[in-house]
Structure 1
């Protein structure tokens, strides 16, 4: 059953797909419709609560209650859907090792090599907020997804 994201428990499993660019305003409504349609049909194959969010017009987040036992086939459906979006919108959504970070009010997306250069050149620093797209629960998403570099696994680049 599809529910509001806020209604998911803190233990709900999350998947975050960062886009290599911000979705354009004219893409947002069709994208939301596609994600909503996918989640609705995906929920029919699951026994439990599921939800999604689009954050910063850049991140697609799925949430599924922890007690829901997902099959490999159901996970494959999610990845296939994301692959389809990648092709349609000409973005990268599956590379979780690239770095997403805030620069002022903007969210940037760089490969690790470029990010290290930005650190070296002092374009970003220890206080720069990064997004840890490897978090796995709703609680972690809400508390440890947006953190200063020093509080993230990226701190090894400092």
Structure 2
């Protein structure tokens, strides 16, 4: 079930398509998720860069992560078009009273549920076996479709977090 998100990523996008992952501070309710889906669909349908349409993709994954993707083979995404996507995410923040830009909050898959943990509490969580080296971590630093597919949901031991904490393997 966890890997099913890959089935939602469009196959016709280049592997080097740019990706942005925005993590919500909480799980969205179904009604909110449906509203977000409408916002994303509208945004993607009208996403332009210097007047040219952007081949874009947007989805809410795991009920908590807004993923935007732009295939730049046709139209490059730069300043204004990137700014418009950030405005969309800020709109989602305001509409649903969530934080979408907190990079100190980490997300893990624990017992098939997304669990949030502040970076400052990671070592404590490892020491007390709440998180193990094999726990799946949402690496929201991915930048391409290829990385979204292969490096977004990875074990803690294979992520940048492994250098920040002491893991007992």
Contact 1:18 1:93 in 2 (8 A): yes
Q: Distance in 2 between matches of 1:23 and 1:7?
A: 28
What residue number does 1:54 align with? 60
What residue number does 2:72 align with? 66
Q: Distance in 2 between matches of 1:66 and 1:37?
A: 19
Equivalenced residue count is 155
Contact 2:70 2:77 in 1 (8 A): no
> 1:26 aligned to 2:35?
no
TM-score (norm 2): 0.84
Runs of 4+ with >6 A deviation: none
Query: Pairwise mapping of residues 122-141 of structure 1 onto structure 2 (< 5 A)?
Result: 122-141=129-148
What residue number does 1:42 align with? 47
Structure 1 position 47, deviation (Å): 4.3
Q: Distance in 2 between matches of 1:140 and 1:66?
A: 16
Q: 5+ unaligned residues in a row in structure 1: which ranges?
A: none
> 1:82 aligned to 2:89?
yes
3-state secondary structure, aligned to 2:11: helix
TM-score (norm 1): 0.90
CA offset digits 1:65-93 (Å, max 9, x no partner) = 13332221111111111111111111111
Q: 5+ unaligned residues in a row in structure 2: which ranges?
A: 1-8
> 1:104 aligned to 2:141?
no
Contact 2:33 2:60 in 1 (8 A): no
Structure 1 position 48, deviation (Å): 4.2
Structure 1 position 105, deviation (Å): 0.9
Q: Distance in 2 between matches of 1:155 and 1:33?
A: 37
What residue number does 1:9 align with? 14
Aligned-pair RMSD on alpha carbons?
Answer: 1.7
